[in-house]
């Protein structure tokens, strides 16, 4: 069996990610749905990554008491949510992240990306930096006023992310809008051939 196909239990996953087994259990379970909510039931975070990678999850994963997932699915998931670096090592800052909603320190590797060069997900702190906002709060204010493009997607933990192409296009468009908004200076006069000139 190839290392990527090695099956990991929730206990194995919790050790690999440096989280509690309860957190690993949450990643395995489908998100809670309200009874009145007519939307289709969403897959669990781990099952979504498996589907994106087109990796079959063994029937053991359907058993809520002792599920198991292929290592490559787990590693792709952990890289996607910002817990694991590209080389497979655990992100150092995860150990000090504390409670509450945590955002990745660096752009993460999108598990849905294909090809040699991984596609990166940019989260709010990275977007603020890329677009030269002074803080994430300033970026969020701009978002509330529709001055920032909509996210390209939401990750397995429902956090918004953008791709660099979207941010680069936004920067380019913003520069063009600014140039159009700047009034052209009137010349001080025209020479005999009708060419404009400015007085020094």
User: What pLDDT is stored for residue 14 in this prediction?
Assistant: 93
Has residue 62 got a pLDDT over 70? no
Q: Where are the domains of the chain?
A: 1-91
49, 57 Cβ separation under 8 angstroms: no
**Mean pLDDT, all residues of the chain:** 82
Q: Could you give the residue ranges of the DSSP H alpha helices within the chain?
A: 10-17, 21-28, 45-53, 71-80, 124-130, 136-144, 164-181
Has residue 1 got a pLDDT over 60? no
User: What pLDDT is stored for residue 180 in this prediction?
Assistant: 57
User: What pLDDT is stored for residue 86 in this prediction?
Assistant: 86
Over range 7-31, report the average pLDDT: 90
pLDDT digits (tens, 9 = 90+) for 139-148: 999 999 999 9
Q: Considering only residues 37 and 72, tell me which one the structure prediction assigns the higher pLDDT.
A: 72
Place of tokens 């001080």: 188
14, 26 Cβ separation under 8 angstroms: no
User: What pLDDT is stored for residue 37 in this prediction?
Assistant: 54
Which residue in 53, 117, 70, 107 sits closest to 85, CA to CA?
Answer: 107
pLDDT digits (tens, 9 = 90+) for 78-131: 999 999 988 889 888 876 666 556 789 899 999 987 666 788 999 999 999 999
User: What pLDDT is stored for residue 63 in this prediction?
Assistant: 56
User: What pLDDT is stored for residue 99 in this prediction?
Assistant: 59
Has residue 61 got a pLDDT over 70? no
Q: Considering only residues 7 and 3, tell me which one the structure prediction assigns the higher pLDDT.
A: 7
């Amino acid at each position: 069996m190839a290392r990527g196909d090695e099956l990991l239990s929730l206990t194995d996953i919790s050790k690999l990610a440096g989280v509690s087994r309860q957190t690993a259990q949450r990643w395995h379970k489908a998100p809670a749905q309200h009874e009145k909510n007519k939307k289709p039931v969403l897959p669990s975070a781990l099952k979504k990554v498996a589907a994106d990678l087109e990796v079959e999850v063994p029937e053991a994963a359907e058993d809520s008491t002792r599920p198991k997932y292929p290592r490559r699915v787990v590693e792709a998931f952990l890289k996607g949510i910002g817990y694991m670096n590209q080389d497979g090592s655990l992100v150092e800052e995860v150990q000090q992240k504390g409670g509450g909603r945590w955002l990745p320190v660096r752009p993460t590797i999108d598990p849905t990306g294909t090809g040699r060069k991984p596609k990166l997900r940019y989260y709010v702190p990275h977007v603020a930096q890329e677009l030269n906002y002074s803080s994430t709060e300033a970026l969020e204010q701009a978002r509330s006023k529709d001055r920032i493009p909509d996210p390209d997607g939401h990750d397995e933990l429902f956090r918004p992310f953008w791709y660099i192409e979207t941010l680069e296009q936004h920067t380019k468009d913003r520069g063009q809008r600014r140039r159009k908004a700047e009034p052209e200076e009137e010349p001080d006069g025209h020479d005999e051939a009708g060419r404009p000139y400015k007085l020094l």
